[in-house]
Structure 1
């Protein structure tokens, strides 16, 4: 197999592994709060919402140590061991105990930081400057198939007996383990002649080969790289972090609260998630395939993402009642600006997914391009800012009306797009200078 074919296969395996793991984990997350309420045991007193709060808080802080972990054991083993923690979190529901539930929540926050930082590092290792955009799109599209595969349905389907619950979570645990072991199919990319590639190894054994540097020194250097990453990286993930919160939590809540949609309002949440996934897959696939045909860089794709989201936000503003995010259990009684339409609501779901794929594929691409020499540290910064932003958005979503949330995303979307344009123009300028110097 050619070197480029091997690295492309690695990207496909990486995307499939994430798809399988997050299909299982996403299904667990969708049903865990409902399942917790149905437990027959009086010894368990956990809360799914509290668990998610713990996970996000630890996730944010753990990005500080993620580059060091990857420096010590390598990105491949980092993916595997982090994935095992995801499997362990799912397995807790087979025989639930409050202490083990919250302990795994803490460990999962740490594992999530290591997993996503290792993903960015491996994506960079297996990409060249000419293929980073294509590979980002392929990975993103493959991972987003999880939306299509997620178990969705009404809550009553998950109010099950202990035996049924154990069967469900044993199955999900096995599925997630399959995703973990897929990571072992990733092969070492063929080395390039550039001396900088010696530091970008796939297997942990390679890390200690260069200049007899100790593993502790490698970890310390990775932590310093994290702190020294370009400030531009700090700006880029803010907009996707806010939008992640909106399409993954707030928008579904809004649809379920719309009494004007009738008895099927709750059922729209699952359908909305599927259409978000369709938009993500379409965007990731198209932008990955067409990356080499794009003569104008990443800016047009990011601008398309901004335009798509602006259209979606405007339609949501017209179609959904303003108090839908904070409405009581029985739903909102406020009127939208237009007669609420299920069709418009689901079109907005697709646009949210499409716009998100525009942003994320290009952000992954440019971060991997800019920080090829210390990609683990750069992606740790990326996820650190994104997770903090998402946590802040989850917090204010409990209090802000819909129009204020949409306004925040519009403003940050404009600022994030301008920031991206500045960074991309810098990349284009450096390429031109390099081409001029080589003449």
Structure 2
């Protein structure tokens, strides 16, 4: 009888732990699916935004908006809003914060159904605020549902699901964009579908478990106090040596995010020699698909194999991303004309422009980006677990500043100048990330008791 009780008790204990872990992993999967839908709408829209804006202007001279300027506003506002985003997450909890952010994305995508210059720029401001809130909430929610052992896995799985958005959205665009000039019915169809997909993703966020205010009876005074603490905490983090070094890595990630999400696809679409009929715009969607494929392969690989890769540290994966990106930058430099990021061109490049090389670079850009981002999420979730909202807000602040700067100089700087800037900051960001990884003694933190006993 005693033996039976012992077995039952042991069985219940055994069942309880996997149940908790399964629930957390389901939360991560649901979070990834919701972001996949929302960013199917936004990332696809961002990649074709400059092309669509130019097409609208070709039919209506009064529409003088600039796609790069709109994206610059988004990232500039997002950078500033990241300082208040931790406070918003403290008050609402990460779940409602993400719902609010998702709603702003839907409004921004829908503005192209009734294009007005002032509406585009106004909603660029609105989505900048929403982006800061949704990403700070996402980082906080991912940390809540992870521990040191599962953070790399969860961040990798989330990243892979998120980047599936590049597959579905750009697959859709590759079938819709069949003409050199994008006509009004095509724009209506494209952004109508993207708006619906964004709304579906926002609704899915309501089904996340947990992520509400931990104590619904907190008084307003307590909430305000927590907001001030979160705000001050973000400033304090920025002054630490470790975070200051990581900021260079964050800055590079913002530069290259802007490049592959808004500039590179435009450059491909403007290079007439990539297509015998001079209609290279139809390859923008294919480029986006390959970027997404690289992101998914990288995210899934470093997520599913995190238990093995963690033994060697995060820096080898970041260094791999650096090598991949440097190869991509070199090939882009010699393969595409310098002015391709600014206007349609028949200009030659250093080699005869080759579509296969251009699309291979798209894949490399996505793969390298996954290397950097999965490891940045992982190191923040582990080193700043007790202050994750402030840490992720700083990450997005610096990344957004870099994005705004990149889209600002993209209006005048040619493709080759942008690639050279990326190469410089890739080198700096990789060095500083590796320095933090080594100084944090992450290798010693991963040692098991058996390893320690063996070394003794």
- Establish whether TM, by shorter chain, passes 0.5: yes
Q: Describe the SS at the equivalent of 2:441.
A: helix
CA distance in 2, matches of 1:17, 1:157: 32
Distance 1:433 1:77, change over 3 A: closer
CA distance in 1, matches of 2:183, 2:409: 30
Residue in structure 1 matched with residue 70 of structure 2 by the alignment: 51
CA distance in 1, matches of 2:445, 2:312: 13
**Paired residues of 1:233 and 1:381 also in contact (CA < 8 A):** no
Distance 1:155 1:369, change over 3 A: farther
CA distance in 2, matches of 1:116, 1:133: 18
Residue in structure 1 matched with residue 206 of structure 2 by the alignment: 184
CA drift at 1:35 = 7.1
Residue in structure 2 matched with residue 203 of structure 1 by the alignment: 212
Q: Which shows bigger deviation, 337-346 or 75-84?
A: 337-346
CA distance in 2, matches of 1:415, 1:96: 40
**Paired residues of 2:48 and 2:262 also in contact (CA < 8 A):** no
Pairing partner for 1:241 from 249, 254, 267: 254
Pairing partner for 2:43 from 22, 26, 33: 26
Residue in structure 1 matched with residue 103 of structure 2 by the alignment: 84
**Root mean square deviation, CA, Å:** 3.0
Q: Give the TM-score of the pair, scaled to structure 2.
A: 0.83
Residue in structure 1 matched with residue 28 of structure 2 by the alignment: 11
Matched, 1:133 2:133: no
**Paired residues of 1:297 and 1:424 also in contact (CA < 8 A):** yes
Unaligned runs of 5+ in 2: 1-17
Matched, 1:220 2:228: yes
Pairing partner for 1:299 from 315, 340, 360: 315
Q: Deviations over 1:196-230 (max 9, x none)?
A: xxxxxx21143765x99611111111101111113
Q: Give the TM-score of the pair, scaled to structure 1.
A: 0.86
Q: Which shows bigger deviation, 141-150 or 309-318?
A: 309-318
Matched, 1:63 2:82: yes
Q: Deviations over 1:59-102 (max 9, x none)?
A: 12111110110011110110011111222233344556665544
Residue in structure 2 matched with residue 313 of structure 1 by the alignment: 329
**Count, aligned residues:** 419
Residue in structure 2 matched with residue 395 of structure 1 by the alignment: 408
Distance 1:322 1:29, change over 3 A: closer
Matched, 1:266 2:281: yes
**Paired residues of 1:116 and 1:383 also in contact (CA < 8 A):** yes
Matched, 1:276 2:291: yes
Q: Describe the SS at the equivalent of 2:375.
A: helix
Distance 1:387 1:278, change over 3 A: same
Residue in structure 2 matched with residue 197 of structure 1 by the alignment: none
Q: Describe the SS at the equivalent of 2:258.
A: helix
Distance 1:45 1:292, change over 3 A: same
More helix by share: 2
**Paired residues of 1:323 and 1:332 also in contact (CA < 8 A):** no
CA distance in 1, matches of 2:336, 2:214: 55
Q: Deviations over 1:336-379 (max 9, x none)?
A: 22232211111111111101100011011111111111111111
CA drift at 1:38 = 5.1
Distance 1:93 1:260, change over 3 A: closer
Unaligned runs of 5+ in 1: 189-201
Q: Deviations over 1:390-430 (max 9, x none)?
A: 11122223333433322222221111111111111123258
